[in-house]
């Protein structure tokens, strides 16, 4: 029963890593590509969304947000690799616990068996 509990907890870890990977990749894509317009009112105060506005120049902001998005995507891929590694370990462990078929070795070859059947 202890092995079954370990398999269930490993399955939970696998799913957690896959969900983290999915979330990080989606967040990375949104971070890299979403750059809303920041407009100024008549007094020069910024209005609208200031999401992804780090420094004054737009070109610098595009570079910074692109790199931040790339980092999130890489974190997502690393999480997916860890989850896949856990899945492989679980699969290997699962195949080791199955009962193995007994292999019998015959003393005669199939040709000898055919000759014996003919006689």
pLDDT (average), residues 51-59: 75
pLDDT band at 103 (very low <50, low <70, confident <90, very high): low
Phi and psi based region of residue 44 (left: phi greater than 0; alpha: psi -120 to 50; beta: remaining): left
Q: Indicate the number of domains in the chain.
A: 1
Please report the pLDDT score of residue 1 as a whole number: 44
Is residue 28 one of the residues assigned to a domain?
yes
Partners of 38 in the β-ladder? 48
Range of the domain at 10: 2-100
Residue 115 lies in a domain: no
Any domain includes 107:
no
C-beta atoms surrounding 14 within 10 Å: 19
pLDDT tens digits for range 21-30:
999 999 999 9
Is residue 16 one of the residues assigned to a domain? Answer: yes
Torsion sign over Cα 98, 99, 105, 111: negative
- Asked, for residue 15, whether it belongs to a domain, the answer is yes
């Amino acid at each position: 029963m202890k092995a079954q509990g370990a398999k269930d907890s490993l399955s939970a870890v696998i799913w957690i890593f896959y969900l983290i990977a999915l979330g990080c990749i989606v967040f990375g894509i949104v971070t890299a590509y979403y750059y809303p317009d920041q407009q100024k009112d008549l007094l020069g105060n910024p209005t609208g969304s200031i999401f992804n506005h780090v420094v004054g120049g737009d070109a610098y902001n595009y570079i910074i947000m692109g790199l931040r998005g790339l980092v999130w995507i890489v974190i997502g891929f690393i999480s997916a690799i860890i989850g896949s590694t856990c899945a492989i370990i679980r699969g290997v462990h699962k195949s080791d616990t199955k009962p193995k078929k007994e292999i019998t070795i015959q003393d005669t070859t199939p040709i000898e068996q055919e000759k014996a059947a003919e006689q």
